[in-house]
Amino acid sequence: MSFFHANQREALNQSLAELTGQINVSFEFFPPRTAEMEQTLWQSITRLSSLQPKFVSVTYGANSGERDRTHSIIKDINNRTGLEAAPHLTCIDASEAELRDIATDYWQSGIRHIVALRGDLPASGGKPEMYAADLVALLKSVADFDISVAAYPEVHPEAKSAQADLINLKRKIDAGANRAITQFFFDVESYLRFRDRCVAANIEVEIVPGILPVSNFKQLQRFASMTNVRVPHWMNNMFDGLDDDAETRKMVGANIAMDMVKILSREGVKDFHFYTLNRAEMSYAICHTLGVRPVRVAE
């Protein structure tokens, strides 16, 4: 089952064949909470590192323990793999002095790329003292970091309007951000329309699409409801009846992501950021179809 006609698929496959070697990929991970999860994480990092990603990022939790794990994992990735490791950094529940100390420590540890985010508001609510644009400016005042920020093709849940959300993205770029990575999406047209609006707003950095390979559709629906992401009706149809069939769900999810990537490649997109959920299999398979091949080490 697919949402493309045969002639469209043939055209996409031909375009894909012409793109071999011209695609950049990056991967996102999250800090593990158990020894077993840590083993899975490192297995995934090891496998995906062979694809020579442009960078790998690690998310940053709301509590100090998870934040400490992010710092540790980032430094381990940098030291053990040689990959460009990009920690997420948020400005919620942190003073400017604390953020400067963290940024200085990263720079001195050889970390040159940071994903700068406002972060989730605490349950108590209230207006934050800093926003992502302020964090970008702070990081640039510490050192010449390569900075990625977030973008929302289907509009941030807290934004007053799509235009207000776009203005906020421009503030982050004007403060010194080097690229924007989007929230995951499944409506390719929403990304393409958003990219056009960015161009019209004189946002000239790369808008990197965030790709989420879906293996657990019910979990995805929860994620989507919290993040203002539309799940198209055809996805409900494709996953219907697969609640107890994990392997088929993976194949369906990989097929959806592959088709999205093929269309975006045809539209000139060269960079893709994969939300791996700390699993390598689906992202690796999708990258393989893109012509991204592992580096073979001569014996």
Output the pLDDT for position 297. 47
* Reported pTM: 0.90
What is the model's pLDDT at position 33?
87
Alpha-carbon distances of 217 from 71, 114, 184, 249, rounded to whole Å: 31, 30, 14, 8
Contact, 60 vs 89, CB < 8 A?
yes
User: Which domains are present in the chain?
Assistant: 6-289 (3.20.20.220)
SS3 assignment, position 177:
coil
- Predicted local confidence at residue 66, as pLDDT: 72
Q: Which of 72, 149, 80, 75 is nearest to 112 (CA)?
A: 75
DSSP 26: E
Specify which residues 87 forms β-bridges with.
58
Residues noted as catalytic: 28
Burial of 159 (0-12, 13-18, 19+ CB in 10 A): middle
Phi, psi of 150 (to 5 degrees): -95, 150
- In three-state secondary structure terms, 141 is helix
Per-residue pLDDT of the chain (299 residues; tens, 9 = 90+): 445 555 666 665 555 555 555 789 999 999 998 999 999 999 999 999 999 999 999 998 656 567 788 999 999 999 999 899 999 999 988 899 999 999 999 999 999 999 999 988 776 666 778 999 999 999 999 999 999 999 999 999 999 999 999 999 999 999 999 999 999 999 999 999 999 999 999 999 999 999 999 999 999 999 999 889 999 999 999 999 999 999 999 999 999 999 999 899 889 999 999 999 999 999 999 998 878 878 654 43
CB-CB contact of 137 with 175 (8 Å) = yes
CA 44 to chain centre: 16
Nearest to 46 by CA among 280, 213, 250, 274: 280
Instruction: Specify the pLDDT at position 38.
Output: 93
* Cβ contact 41:27 at 8 Å: no
